[in-house]
């Protein structure tokens, strides 16, 4: 649950860009990336959702979805009791079936991090090792409209309180105005604020809010920018803006992380968030991941679902599968 160091990310960005990451250098690089074939992208996403599924794979796919969920509550009316209930659900998603995997993380506002950490107790840990992580939204979520000083303080406090992961939002206004250097600097500074005194670092998920970026080309550019600046994950959405996650946008972001790995050898995570409510939809995402970047990405440190209602449908389908009344997807999963 720790990411690359700021120095390494900054040096890597300079090596990739061929210069300091200021507005001019970033604009030259980002606008030099080939444009997105929207028709081809959408057709590919549609094709990935229409494959046949092996009956034996259904249980595996449903369990995999559960294990990749960031169980989320991000409401102004959140209370300590609600967060404790969320943690209990993350630890025991189905009280009638103790074979159900835990979710990867709980995602809360920063002030609720100590509550979540305390409620998890000994189960607080790396989801790749069977623990449940605590993710905190930060940087004036969901708007991102505050000073950098406040964003950094927000992040540092959440990390100090025990957050394993920070979900930050980019300044979409600055990005759309072409102020790429500013967006880069803010992401890099937040990455530095994720550092702990022992030298480790909370993982940084960079929320692009793709529904506000208007075009696929902008989504691709923002994805590259977030990775160049040191993000450990790129995330579609806050869940507060529509459209939130879509399969074509997630496919595009997966293509970016695939290309980044080819370029640098580094693997970056992807998190679609918002609007994924059914097991049928979630399995389409699993397939898209497996066929775009490979099955190795289907683990918590490389792929997550940001969801609040998805878990309930997946648990329903798991119960129906046990009783022979399964009504979930009959298309693709991975052998």
Residues catalogued as catalytic? 167, 235, 271
Q: Please, are residues 241 and 209 in contact by the beta-carbon 8 Å criterion? A: yes
Q: Please, are residues 257 and 234 in contact by the beta-carbon 8 Å criterion? A: yes
What is the DSSP annotation of 243-270? Answer: S---HHHHHHHHHHHHHHHHHHS---EE
- Measured in degrees and rounded to the nearest 5, phi and psi for residue 161 equal -80, -5
DSSP H or E stretch at residue 203: strand 203-207
Alpha-carbon span 174 to 16, nearest angstrom: 22
Alpha-carbon span 111 to 105, nearest angstrom: 16
Helix %, strand %, coil % of the chain (to 5): 50, 15, 35
Closest of 262, 198, 253 to residue 231, by C-alpha = 253
Q: Please, are residues 52 and 330 in contact by the beta-carbon 8 Å criterion? A: yes
Tokens of 175: 């990005």
| Non-local CB neighbours of 18 within 8 Å, separated by 6+ positions | 25, 29
Q: Please, are residues 135 and 86 in contact by the beta-carbon 8 Å criterion? A: no
Q: Please, are residues 158 and 166 in contact by the beta-carbon 8 Å criterion? A: yes
């Amino acid at each position: 649950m720790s990411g690359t160091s700021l120095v390494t990310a900054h040096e890597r960005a300079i090596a990739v860009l061929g210069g300091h990451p200021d507005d001019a250098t970033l604009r030259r690089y980002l606008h030099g990336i080939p444009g997105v074939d929207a028709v081809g992208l959408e057709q590919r996403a549609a094709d990935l959702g229409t494959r046949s599924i092996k009956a034996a794979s259904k249980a595996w796919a449903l369990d995999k979805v559960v294990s990749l969920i960031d169980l989320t509550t991000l409401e102004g009316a959140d209370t300590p009791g609600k967060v404790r209930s969320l943690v209990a659900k993350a630890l025991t998603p189905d009280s009638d079936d103790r074979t159900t995997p835990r979710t990867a993380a709980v995602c809360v506002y920063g002030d609720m991090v100590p509550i979540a950490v305390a409620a998890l107790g000994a189960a607080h840990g790396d989801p790749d090792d069977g623990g449940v992580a605590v993710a905190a939204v930060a940087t004036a979520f969901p708007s991102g409209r505050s000073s950098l000083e406040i964003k950094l303080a927000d992040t540092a406090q959440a990390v100090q309180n025990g957050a394993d992961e920070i979900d930050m939002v980019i300044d979409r206004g600055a990005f759309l105005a072409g102020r790429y250097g500013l967006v880069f600097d803010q992401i890099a500074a937040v990455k530095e604020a994720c550092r702990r005194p022992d030298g480790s670092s909370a993982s940084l998920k960079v929320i692009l809010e793709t529904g506000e970026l208007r075009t696929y080309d902008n989504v691709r550019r923002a994805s590259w920018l977030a990775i160049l600046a040191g993000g450990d994950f790129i995330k579609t959405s806050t869940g507060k803006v529509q459209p939130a996650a879509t399969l074509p946008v997630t496919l595009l972001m997966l293509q970016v992380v695939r290309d980044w790995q080819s370029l640098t050898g580094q693997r970056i995570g992807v998190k679609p968030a918002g609007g994924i409510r059914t097991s049928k939809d979630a399995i389409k995402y699993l397939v898209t991941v497996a066929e775009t970047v490979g099955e190795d990405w289907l683990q918590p440190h490389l792929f997550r679902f940001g969801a609040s209602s998805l878990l309930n449908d997946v648990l329903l389908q798991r119960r129906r599968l046990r009783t022979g009344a399964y009504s979930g997807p009959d298309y693709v999963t991975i052998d």
